[in-house]
Structure 1
């Protein structure tokens, strides 16, 4: 059967068009894959990192070689599209995904030249000493500071209030002293503060979380410091998911931290000098899992309403001045006598029966 020449011409043209389309698609895919490949380390960041490296003894950061892409170095994470360094993470914790690193000396000022940094972590580094460098205040995109279990010392610097993007501040288990700067309250996005296990003194600033959106959950951990004075009444309007003031020298009333509709999962006020009447306190029933008010001067009785906190798995009210019958039923079936011991006149299960 003879083909119509005109028809043959159309078929050939169609085939050529299809081939062009396939070839064009292949070129587009190749171009796209090339454009999506990780960009090389930015030259300004490379310069800052080499300066950072030179501040420590030779071979500390043994795979930091200036002829290689710095985005492949231990502790460095970059934005794939721009090659800018976004995270500086040095951790000897168990979850660390690179070989242990012992940073000996001070945190170098050159860290402030990594202008796109979003996340800094220096944890379990006992030979990292000295104060935080003021150059950190240059990092306007920084969201997270995690400095845990180091020997960094000096005051909590007020220049941290110059970091408008800061959301999480963890400077725990180190050697920081002095007072908590009230200027931290100017940070509108700061929702997580852990300054526990330091040597902090003075009072808790009422300004903390004052600019945080009232719908945002806040976390505050000031455990094991030497803080004194009253718990700020301004905290009554903060939506704490968790608050830990354990082992300080705080005094006065803290009833405003409680409330039936509050979102708290954990409240730890133990080992202070707090003094208030517990009788009419309402407990966060929706989420409360952990409550420790032991070793204070709290008086009154325990409301039956606490039984509505059905998620409560840990409770300690020992070493206070509480009286009256302990609520029974609900989660209280798993509470031991030591959790109510050394009070003025509590009675009922798990303590001896009430006399009337």
Structure 2
């Protein structure tokens, strides 16, 4: 009976207790992480990264591991105003990374190092609210698994990267709040071309200029923001009755087109075309847009009745719009 009980307990423990020989933190990954800590200048943020502890089991700050492989698959560091360093090139030596997020590190400087191109499993690259600078390097085109590219609110400059359409899984691009100049590449009309429903393109708060490429009208954006740039000319290709777009913000540019000829997507709930040179009448269905701003344009005609109630600031400073909430039409 004692022998049988021992066997039962032994079998139970063998299924419920991790093997004593299992390495929870892959030794090569641990070595790389300690090198990254050194390249970060050993910040207080990474005080939990200790050589005598386990990077997975002991919950090193910002680290997540795949417990099937013992490899680090996520590095997420944020909100540290004291971390002062350049971007650590050794991050490129974590080949199993799926997520890399460095957010709100205002003293993080330097350019994106070429070693990042080795992260071929990366799905999310997020570098935001830092002091990093320089152009977006072409070697990012090697990150074929990338789904989200977020480089918002840094000091990146130069022209927009023209190669993004070569990333077959890319669905979200956030490049707002930088110092990009020049036009939007024609290739952006072929983003994720096999399935042209593209959730998010955010290019606001840059110094972009020129006319929009007509190819951009091919893409069925869910959320699109070109706010506060120097664009001009026609933006009507962004609209369409058959699109599934939910939000469009093209405010604070110099767009010039006949708004009355635009067909709005039925799914559109947020629309801001304010501070442009848009003319003509308000398009059919605009009363159904829940958040709307068409102020500071050259629009005319009667404001449609019904639908959502919008205040006077939605329509002010146009050439000859009339009707509630503006003065009545004569």
Aligned counterparts of 2:200 and 2:226: Cα–Cα separation in 1: 11
Deviation (angstroms), 1:166: 0.4
Aligned counterparts of 1:81 and 1:144: Cα–Cα separation in 2: 21
Which of residues 224, 227, 230 in structure 1 aligns to 2:208? 227
Q: Which residue of 1 aligns with 2:323?
A: 348
Q: Superposition pairs for residues 241-320 of structure 1, below 5 Å?
A: 241-286=222-267, 288-307=268-287, 309=288, 312-320=289-297
Q: Which residue of 2 aligns with 1:9?
A: none
Aligned-partner SS, 1:262 = coil
Q: Which residue of 1 aligns with 2:113?
A: 133
Unmatched 5+ stretches in structure 2 = none
Aligned counterparts of 1:219 and 1:29: Cα–Cα separation in 2: 50
Query: Deviation per CA, 1:251-292, whole angstroms, max 9, x where unpaired?
Result: 111112112231111100001111111112111123x22100
Aligned counterparts of 1:187 and 1:209: Cα–Cα separation in 2: 13
Deviation (angstroms), 1:155: 0.8
Aligned-partner SS, 2:128 = strand
Q: For the structure 1 residues 153 and 347, does the alpha-carbon distance in structure 2 shift closer, same or farther, using more than 3 Å as the test?
A: same
Structure 2 residue 157 is the aligned partner of structure 1 residue 177: yes
Aligned residues: 324
Q: Which residue of 2 aligns with 1:238?
A: 219
Aligned-partner SS, 2:106 = strand
Q: Which residue of 2 aligns with 1:337?
A: 312
Aligned counterparts of 1:112 and 1:81: Cα–Cα separation in 2: 21
Q: Which residue of 2 aligns with 1:46?
A: 30
Please tell me whether the aligned partners of residues 209 and 229 of structure 2 are also in contact (alpha carbons under 8 angstroms).
yes
Higher alpha-carbon deviation: 128-137 or 215-224: 215-224
Unmatched 5+ stretches in structure 1 = 1-15, 93-99
Query: Deviation per CA, 1:44-100, whole angstroms, max 9, x where unpaired?
Result: 1111111111113345321211111012210111011221000010011xxxxxxx5
Which of residues 29, 51, 64 in structure 2 aligns to 1:77? 64
TM-score by length of 2: 0.92
Query: Deviation per CA, 1:309-340, whole angstroms, max 9, x where unpaired?
Result: 3xx32111011111111111111xx2111211
Aligned-partner SS, 2:286 = helix
Please tell me whether the aligned partners of residues 103 and 130 of structure 2 are also in contact (alpha carbons under 8 angstroms).
yes
Aligned-partner SS, 2:186 = coil
Please tell me whether the aligned partners of residues 190 and 196 of structure 2 are also in contact (alpha carbons under 8 angstroms).
no
Aligned-partner SS, 1:160 = helix
Runs of 4+ off more than 6 Å: 22-25
RMSD: 2.0
Which of residues 211, 214, 218 in structure 1 aligns to 2:195? 214
Aligned counterparts of 1:259 and 1:25: Cα–Cα separation in 2: 68
Aligned counterparts of 2:137 and 2:19: Cα–Cα separation in 1: 40
Q: Superposition pairs for residues 52-131 of structure 1, below 5 Å?
A: 52-60=36-44, 61-71=46-56, 72-92=59-79, 100=80, 102-131=82-111
TM-score by length of 1: 0.86
Aligned-partner SS, 2:261 = coil
Aligned counterparts of 2:19 and 2:169: Cα–Cα separation in 1: 32
Aligned counterparts of 1:36 and 1:216: Cα–Cα separation in 2: 46
